[in-house]
């Protein structure tokens, strides 16, 4: 069996070639156990394995009611009338609310653009839009009452693609837009447009020996977090409300919720409940406002829990995309130019579409050196389901297309696809198409080299003395092949993702750190509003506090809005930004503690004034290792507490005409090698192995880092071979809102995922770390696609690949 | 209607149960046992897995009325269930302590330290098989039952036994590690 | 909604007679999904879990009498020799948890064209034992499926058991899904060789409004095997015969496009499965079964 404590960088991993960067050096806290760099275990692990960890759907309150949402059955329609009388008369029903019952002037919300009605007003713009809400004493009572609400719709033609959205006579999805993108878009049904122009593509095309074009389609992926949207709203005595909720960003929710309730933010208290995964799907609001409205209306606690069907309508999805690319290269394998046009379908409401457009455009050429580019990305308003954040955020769609293009060019040139990528790989100092230089290690070629150097999985693993083990074959337990038609293929891909919020966003986090002596031991308490969604931020915060304060005991305070914002648990940013804030606050606490020490003990030992002082093992020590005092003696009954905001370096918006600008904080890179076996006759795929190499700058918790890489890799695998929300182009209705027909990988679909981790410090980031969570989701999908192409010889310009595509049926 | 049955060895009774309610709903909302999770309610994710008369089932697809007089084990009772089993089969019963020693890494203060865990629960923590944790209870019940039947599973056996339990966070690798670890510790303990 | 809990088969029949709209629930793996997703609100749920003999099976001379509620996991574990096709089909059902609860009675009651057991029952040859207070009758499996999610049961009847012919030769079962486990059939195919009668039977799932046999394909193959003396000489079936059999099986489909697959893919896949399962069963019949059977733990 394999080792339970994972070898970090793989044993016998390929040695580094030329020096690419240096690892982070830690002084303070290096002697303290459980600090950064160790695979400490989750503080919530015990509660999670015993079933005691309280997720948002587990909340319960005496006398609570159940909320239920009535959703539109059509995608685009005028609402002629709504009759709630029968629902209201149902025994057990405490409230029924529609748009007309909303308490405040503000009746819309939105992360970037406030365009989403809390309840539909006169019109519905997508299938499943909330129309009315009900509170009752049992979920079944609420469902039955909702079914009695009569809504008369007058259906309107649906807009489902670029052609129908931008037709001269197209119905406008939103009238009278006043958002900050409206001024520069070519059509009101375009949320945002970001061109990037650099160099001279026409001249570069002249230099090209080969020019390769491709049209690509990326399907609509769902985050499919397992814990459905849910929460409990409890009315407070002062007329406010307390919301226990699973979200990715408490303060962004608060900012959107309070105005709609007609309450000041101080009267809306929010506490993070257990979050059953997120992956971007909890960035936008779902049931938050509805639960609060019903609680305030009825004066009783109201719980709402979506079932899986509702969940598919209750959150935004990953933008489906159409991508057109042209790559040029010289005979010796140098890219001359890239042009691309990326059309992202944002659906009925903006959500984060504008930022996704910015990401897709700025990362559209991949981690390669190319001086001459002509790039355009747009995001549409349509009547399709709203799309927004999902792990990889605009970079995923582009990576699928540019990596397919890189393989095509390599093939055209007769070059090895990995060597061709390495030849064009960016490195530290490369200038992005946006004009931004990459100013930290960018070991793209090295990651490819490492992933290629990993040993290949053995052939024909399904063969055993007892015959074919179908569990190891395409089709699995369905017993479709005993080896017939099965062909192996290998494919590679690499990607680039930005870390943190970009384009001038004031992306900060707040941390409150307290140190005091409890029972003779120094204890640190870390309080942030960071949403722990499973990623392990709580583990890392405790590690940082141990390292920075030299203590063994760290308490993680529950996340709530009683402390400043920690920003979003997204964009691979939490370890960087909230981790940075925790470190910063710890440093401030440390200074204060040393100040107290100097005041109290300075006269006893000259080192207090002259030496560099560290906190280690609950003591104040000199950098030479001499113990000056116990922290318990320094602090006595004094508590030191600091709450401070921390920011990463600023970014700036991309120029709206040229796309130039210092738009991103940091980049992260991962490479994959996929080995697949395809039943070419039935078009079924078994991924045999999906190896990954990633640079993480500094792994604060190696076990968690590997978990992130393997999890992200698997979501990319799902996108390659099975995951897609299917929307009927004629009606814009979702056809598969269930786990029966929206399939995510099972453990039998998921291969071994060997991981090789590089740690090359980014000097701009805390501890040199690099955001980890998203990069592995990028290159996983194109690597699997490349492997399937390698096995079948098919072109395959869309993902996910379905058996129909592999069998030409 | 009223439903009476045994949960984790204790008799339980639920009143005013709506006839369409599932065992999952009764456990979570009426008996205060939210460990079994409500991720899909259509038998396609395994998060609600419990043992019904010893057999792993999706509790979302068992009508509440069907459990009248029967025995249910949920994740909340898993540690006790595993302990009884290990006593019953004459194992020397120290596996748990050994398992815990293995985990002696930086733990935090408020985390339920001292809670007695079954070997598979401890292995999930130790191997990093828990991220968001929503799939964890169902996986633990399924994995524990598999190890009871098949103490030395191959990787393919583990994958087959857990193929009804979706996880969206981990990519399953750490779950494989955890089950292998639990099997190995179980083997050492006997 | 009322929850009826008969303690015996006779009580169950009486309850069904009194409440013909009552929806029987055994494993619950279909009914509870419909209730949880608000697709169905029956007036009565008729719980069959306490009717113990529905969980029993008897292996007779000619056939196995399989209680309607015998879970798929038990079929996999205990009836692999007698009912190899159904055991293989059982192994493809959903997940271990579902296989522990669901049984063939539920598949027949729901009569979804995607039910995993149907092709195996059609290929093996079976009769459905149904009963009401009026009496008991056996419905041949070929006459059981009457439309999309419709069957030959009268309103007061319940499914008690299925009488499935014991295998007298090799049987195989394949199902295409877009995931390697826990997946609903895009389409499925069952094949049984019956050397004692020198016939071949087939079953197709999810590729027509009801589960169907590919009768023209069976007739073609029966004739070709007879003509070539294959049953006696044990020769390898020629590729052209296998291909024509596969084409005729594909032609027996009447599939639709839906989110799980296109009609043309379903036809194609049924053809491939027909050819492969014919190859596997015939190799097994000839005793040159080098590629063996499905591996995997049971129950």
pLDDT tens digits, C71-92: 999 999 999 999 999 999 999 9
Q: Which candidate from C25, C47, C96 shows the least CB-CB separation from B164?
A: C96
Min Cα distance C28 → chain A (Å) is 16
- Across the interface, whether the CB atoms of B106 and A546 are under 8 A apart is answered yes
Confidence of residue A524 (pLDDT cuts 50, 70, 90): very high
Q: Is A399 within 8 Å of A782 (Cβ atoms)?
A: yes
Residue A569 touches chain B, beta carbons under 8 Å: no
Query: Is B142 in Cβ contact with C96 (below 8 Å)?
Result: yes
Q: Chains B, C: CB contacts under 8 A, how many?
A: 104
Can you list the positions of beta strands (E) in C12-87?
23-25, 44-47, 57-59, 63-67
Partner A contacted by C39 (CB < 8 A)? no
How confident is the model over A120-174, as pLDDT tens digits? Answer: 999 999 999 999 999 999 999 999 999 999 999 999 999 999 999 999 999 999 9
Q: How many angstroms separate the CA atoms of A131 and A100, rounded?
A: 11
- Segment C5-16 mean pLDDT: 98
A9-18, A538-547, A648-657, B53-62: segment of lowest average pLDDT: A9-18
Query: Looking at residue B95, what is its pLDDT?
Result: 38
Distance separating alpha carbons of residues B46 and B37, to the nearest angstrom: 9
Distance from CA of B61 to the nearest CA of A (A): 14
Q: B10-35 pLDDT, tens per residue?
A: 999 999 999 999 999 999 999 999 99
Calculate the average pLDDT of chain C. 95
pLDDT at residue A185, as a whole number: 97
Which segments within A356-507 are labelled E, that is strand? Answer: 372-380, 387-388, 463-464, 467-468, 486-499
Interface test with C, best of B19, B51, B53 (most C CBs within 10 A): B19
DSSP B21: -
Please give the span between the terminal C-alpha atoms of chain A, in angstroms, as a whole number.
42
pLDDT of residue A27: 86
Tell whether B160 lies on the interface with C, counting CB pairs under 8 A.
yes
Residues forming beta bridges with residue A535, ordered by sequence position: none
Burial of A238 (0-12, 13-18, 19+ CB in 10 A): exposed
A467: confidence class by pLDDT, cuts 50, 70, 90: confident
Q: Mean pLDDT throughout A507-512?
A: 98
Quick check: A345 and A320 in contact, CB under 8 A?
A: yes
Q: Using CB atoms, pick whichever of C88, C173, C179 lies closest to residue A749.
A: C179
Q: Whole-angstrom Cα distance, residue A636 to residue A522?
A: 9
B126–A41 CB contact, under 8 Å: yes
Which residues in B lie closer than 8 A to residue A54 (C-beta atoms)? 34
**Tens-place pLDDT, residues B65-75:** 999 999 999 99
Which of residues 111 through 150 in chain C touch A, CB cutoff 8 A? none
Tens of pLDDT, residue by residue over B136-187, are 999 999 999 999 999 999 999 999 999 999 999 999 999 999 999 999 998 8
The tens digit of pLDDT for each residue in A61-80 reads: 999 999 999 999 999 999 99
In this complex, do C297 and B160 lie within 8 Å of one another by their Cβ atoms? yes
For helices A395-413 and A417-424, the axis angle rounded to 10 degrees is 110
Q: Determine the pLDDT at residue B187.
A: 85
For an interface test with B, which of A1, A42, A48 has the most B Cβ atoms less than 10 Å from its Cβ? Answer: A48
Residue A370 token pair: 């190319």
* Chain C residues 234-263 with a CB less than 8 Å from chain A: 259-262
Instruction: Judge whether residue C294 has pLDDT over 50.
Output: no
Length of chain A equals 809
- Over residues A462-484, the mean pLDDT reads 93
Query: Residue C298 above 70 pLDDT?
Result: no
**What is residue A272's predicted lDDT score, i.e. its pLDDT?**
98
B166 and B39 Cβ atoms separated by less than 8 Å? yes
- Structure-token match 């050429």, residue found: A365
What's the confidence (pLDDT) of residue A42? Answer: 96
Q: Which residue of B has its CA nearest to C184?
A: B44
- Where does the pLDDT of residue B190 fall: very low under 50, low under 70, confident under 90, or very high at 90 and above? low
Separation between Cα atoms, residue C50 and residue B53, nearest integer Å: 13
Contact assessment for residue A526 and residue A686, using Cβ atoms and an 8 Å cutoff: no
On the question of pLDDT at A12 being above 70, the answer is no
**How much is the average pLDDT of A224-230?**
98
User: Chain-wide mean pLDDT for chain A?
Assistant: 96
Instruction: Specify the pTM.
Output: 0.96
Query: How many angstroms separate the Cα of C29 from the Cα of each of A76, C24, C169, C209?
Result: 35, 12, 32, 21
Q: How many residues does chain B have?
A: 190
Output the pLDDT for position C147.
97
Mean pLDDT of C83-104: 98
Please calculate the CA angle A799-A805-A806 and round it to the nearest 5 degrees. Answer: 110
Distance, in Å, from the CA atom of B58 to the CA atom of B52, rounded to the nearest integer, reads: 9
The confidence band for A266, taking pLDDT boundaries of 50, 70 and 90, is: very high
Q: What is the mean pLDDT of residues C170-191?
A: 97
CB-CB under 8 Å, A42 with B174: no
**Residue C26, Ramachandran bin (φ over 0: left; ψ between -120 and 50: alpha; else beta):** alpha
| CB-nearest partner of A478 from C177, C259, C260 | C177
Pairing of strands C135-140, C23-25: unpaired
Of the residues A45, A223, A282, the best mutation for testing chain B's interface (the one with the most B CB atoms within 10 Å of its CB) is: A45
B135: nearest CA in chain A? A226
pLDDT at A781 over 50: yes
Distances (CA, A) of A35 to A9, A41, A636, A702, A768: 19, 11, 24, 12, 15
**Chain B contact for C7 (CB, 8 A cutoff):** no
State mean pLDDT over A329-357: 98
**Mutation site for C-interface testing, chosen from A142, A467, A478, A686 by largest number of C Cβ within 10 Å:** A478
Q: What is the pLDDT of residues A670-713, one digit of tens each?
A: 999 999 999 999 999 999 999 999 999 999 999 999 999 999 99
Chain C contact present for B149, CB below 8 A: yes
The angle subtended at Cα A71 by Cα A69 and Cα A74, nearest 5°, is: 175
For chain A, percent of residues with pLDDT exceeding 70: 98
- CA C286 to chain A, closest CA, distance in angstroms equals 17
Give the residue from chain A lying closest to B37, CA to CA: A227
As a whole number of angstroms, the distance between CA B107 and CA B37 comes to: 26
Are the beta carbons of B39 and A744 separated by less than 8 Å? no
| Contact list, C177 vs chain A (CB under 8 Å) | 475, 478
The residue among A7 and A572 whose pLDDT is bigger is A572
For B86-134, the pLDDT digits (tens) are 886 543 333 334 333 333 333 343 445 578 899 999 999 999 999 999 9
Would you say A383 and A313 are in contact if contact means Cβ atoms under 8 Å apart? no
* B55-58 and C2-4 strand pairing: unpaired
Using a CB-CB cut-off of 8 Å, the residues of chain C touching B164 are: 94-98, 181-182
Tell me which residue in C2, C95, C299 faces B46 most closely, judged by beta carbons.
C95
């Amino acid at each position: 069996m394999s080792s339970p404590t994972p070898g970090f960088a793989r044993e016998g991993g390929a040695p580094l070639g030329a020096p690419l960067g240096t690892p982070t050096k830690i002084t303070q806290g290096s002697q303290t156990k459980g600090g950064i760099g160790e695979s400490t275990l989750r503080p919530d692990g015990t509660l999670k394995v015993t079933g005691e960890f309280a997720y948002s759907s587990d909340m319960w309150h005496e006398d609570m009611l159940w909320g239920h949402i009535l959703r539109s059955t059509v995608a685009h329609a005028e609402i002629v009338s709504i009759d709630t009388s029968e629902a209201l008369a149902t025994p057990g029903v405490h409230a029924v609310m529609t748009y007309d019952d909303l308490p405040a002037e503000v009746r819309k919300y939105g992360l970037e653009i406030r365009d989403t009605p809390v309840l539909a007003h006169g019109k519905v713009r997508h299938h499943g839009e909330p129309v009315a809400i009900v509170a009752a004493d049992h979920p079944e009572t609420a469902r039955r009452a909702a079914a009695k609400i009569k809504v008369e719709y007058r259906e309107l033609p649906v807009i489902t693609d670029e052609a129908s959205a931008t037709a001269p006579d197209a119905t406008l999805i939103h009238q009278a837009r006043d958002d900050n993108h409206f001024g520069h878009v070519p059509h009101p049904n375009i949320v945002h447009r970001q061109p990037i122009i650099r160099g001279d593509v026409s001249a570069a095309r002249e230099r090209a020996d080969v020019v390769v074009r491709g049209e690509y389609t990326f399907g609509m992926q769902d985050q499919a977090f397992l814990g459905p949207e849910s929460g409990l709203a409890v009315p407070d005595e002062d007329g406010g409300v307390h919301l226990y909720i699973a979200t990715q960003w408490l303060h962004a929710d608060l900012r959107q919720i309070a105005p709609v309730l007609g309450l000041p933010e101080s009267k809306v208290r929010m506490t993070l409940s257990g979050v059953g995964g997120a992956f971007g799907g909890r960035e936008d609001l779902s049931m938050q406002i509805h639960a609060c409205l019903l609680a305030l209306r009825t004066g009783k606690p109201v719980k709402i829990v979506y079932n899986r069907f509702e969940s598919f309508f209750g959150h935004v999805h990953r933008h489906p995309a159409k991508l057109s690319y042209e790559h040029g290269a010289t005979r010796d394998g140098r890219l001359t130019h890239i042009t691309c046009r990326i059309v992202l379908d944002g659906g009925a409401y903006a959500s984060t579409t504008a930022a996704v457009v910015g990401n897709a455009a700025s990362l559209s050429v991949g981690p390669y050196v190319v001086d001459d580019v002509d790039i355009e990305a747009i995001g549409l308003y349509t009547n399709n389901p709203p799309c927004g954040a999902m792990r990889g955020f605009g970079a995923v769609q582009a990576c699928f297309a540019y990596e397919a293009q890189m393989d095509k060019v390599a093939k055209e040139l007769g070059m090895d696809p990995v060597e061709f990528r390495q030849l064009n790989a960016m490195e530290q100092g490369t200038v992005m198409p946006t004009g931004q230089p990459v100013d930290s290690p960018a070991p793209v070629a090295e990651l490819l080299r490492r992933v290629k150097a990993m040993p290949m999985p053995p052939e024909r693993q399904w063969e055993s003395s007892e015959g074919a083990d179908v569990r190891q074959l395409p089709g699995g337990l369905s017993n479709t092949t005993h080896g017939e038609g099965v062909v192996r293929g290998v494919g590679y891909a690499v990607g680039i993702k930005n870390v943190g919020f970009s384009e001038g966003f004031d992306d900060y986090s707040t941390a409150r750190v307290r140190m005091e002596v409890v029972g003779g031991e120094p204890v640190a308490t870390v309080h942030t509003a960071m949403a722990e969604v499973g990623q392990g931020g709580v583990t890392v915060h405790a590690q940082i506090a141990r390292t920075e304060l030299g203590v063994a005991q760290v308490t993680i305070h529950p996340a709530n809005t009683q402390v400043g914002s920690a920003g979003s648990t997204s964009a691979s940013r939490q370890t960087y930004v909230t981790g940075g804030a925790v470190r910063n606050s710890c440093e401030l606490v440390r200074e204060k503690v040393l100040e107290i020490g100097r005041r109290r003990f300075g006269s006893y030992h000259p080192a207090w004034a002259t030496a560099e002082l560290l906190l280690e093992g609950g003591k104040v020590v000199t950098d030479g290792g001499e113990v000056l005092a116990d922290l318990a003696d320094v602090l006595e009954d004094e508590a030191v507490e600091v709450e401070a905001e921390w920011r990463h370096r600023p970014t700036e918006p991309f120029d709206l005409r040229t796309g130039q600008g210092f738009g991103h904080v940091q980049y992260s890179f991962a490479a994959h090698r996929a080995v697949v076996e395809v039943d070419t006759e039935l078009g079924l795929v078994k991924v045999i192995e999906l190896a990954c190499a990633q640079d993480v700058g500094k792994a604060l918790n190696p076990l968690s880092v590997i978990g992130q890489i393997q999890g992200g890799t698997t979501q990319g695998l799902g996108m390659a071979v099975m995951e897609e929300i299917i929307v009927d182009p004629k009606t814009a209705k979702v056809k598969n809102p269930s786990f029966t027909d929206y399939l995510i990988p099972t453990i039998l679909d998921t291969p071994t995922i060997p991981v090789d981790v590089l740690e090359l410090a980014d000097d701009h980031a805390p501890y040199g770390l690099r955001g980890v969570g998203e990069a592995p989701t990028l290159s996983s999908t194109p690597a699997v696609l490349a492997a399937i192409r390698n096995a079948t010889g098919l072109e395959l310009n869309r993902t996910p690949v379905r058996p129909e595509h592999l069998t030409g049926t | 209607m009223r439903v009476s049955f045994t949960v984790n060895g204790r008799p339980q009774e639920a009143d005013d149960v709506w006839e369409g309610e599932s065992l999952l709903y009764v456990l979570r909302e009426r008996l205060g046992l939210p460990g079994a999770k409500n991720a899909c309610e259509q038998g396609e994710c395994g998060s609600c897995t419990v043992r019904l008369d010893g057999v792993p089932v999706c509790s979302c697809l068992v009508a509440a009325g069907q459990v009248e007089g029967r025995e249910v084990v949920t994740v909340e009772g898993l540690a006790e269930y595993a302990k009884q089993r290990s006593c019953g089969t004459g194992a020397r019963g120290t596996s748990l302590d050994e398992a815990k020693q293995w985990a002696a890494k930086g733990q935090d203060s408020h985390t339920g330290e001292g809670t007695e865990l079954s070997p598979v629960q401890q292995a999930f923590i130790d191997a990093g098989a828990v991220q968001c944790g929503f799939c964890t209870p169902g996986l633990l019940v399924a994995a524990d039952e598999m190890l009871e039947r098949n103490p030395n599973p191959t990787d393919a056996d583990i994958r087959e036994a857990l193929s009804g339990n979706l996880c969206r966070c981990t990519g399953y690798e750490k779950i494989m590690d955890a089950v292998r670890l639990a099997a190995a510790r179980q083997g050492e303990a006997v | 909604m009322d929850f009826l809990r008969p303690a015996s088969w006779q009580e169950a029949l009486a309850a069904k007679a009194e409440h013909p709209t009552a929806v029987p629930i055994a494993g619950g793996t279909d009914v509870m999904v419909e209730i949880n997703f608000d697709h169905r609100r029956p007036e009565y749920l008729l719980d069959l879990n306490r009717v113990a003999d529905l969980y029993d099976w008897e292996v007779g001379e000619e056939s196995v009498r399989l209680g309607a509620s015998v879970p798929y996991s038990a079929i996999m574990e205990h009836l692999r020799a007698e009912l190899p096709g159904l055991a293989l089909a059982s192994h493809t059902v959903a997940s271990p948890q579902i296989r522990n609860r669901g049984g063939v009675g539920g598949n027949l009651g729901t009569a979804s064209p995607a039910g995993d057991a149907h092709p195996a029952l059609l290929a093996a040859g079976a009769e459905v034992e149904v009963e009401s207070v009026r009496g008991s009758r056996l419905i041949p499996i070929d006459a059981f499926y009457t439309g999309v999610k419709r069957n030959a049961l009268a309103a007061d009847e319940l499914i008690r058991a299925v009488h499935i012919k014991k295998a007298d030769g090799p049987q195989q079962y394949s199902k295409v899904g877009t995931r390697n486990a826990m997946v609903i059939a895009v389409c499925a195919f069952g094949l049984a060789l019956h050397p004692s009668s020198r016939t071949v039977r087939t079953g197709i799932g999810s590729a027509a409004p009801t589960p169907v046999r590919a009768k023209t394909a069976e007739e073609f193959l029966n004739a070709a095997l007879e003509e070539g003396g294959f049953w006696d000489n044990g020769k390898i079936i020629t590729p052209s015969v296998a291909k024509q059999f596969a084409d005729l099986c594909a032609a027996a489909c009447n599939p639709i496009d839906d989110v799980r697959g296109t009609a043309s893919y379903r036809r194609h896949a049924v053809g491939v499965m027909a050819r492969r399962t014919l190859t596997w069963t015939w190799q097994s019949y000839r005793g040159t079964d080098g590629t063996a059977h499905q591996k995997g733990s049971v129950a």
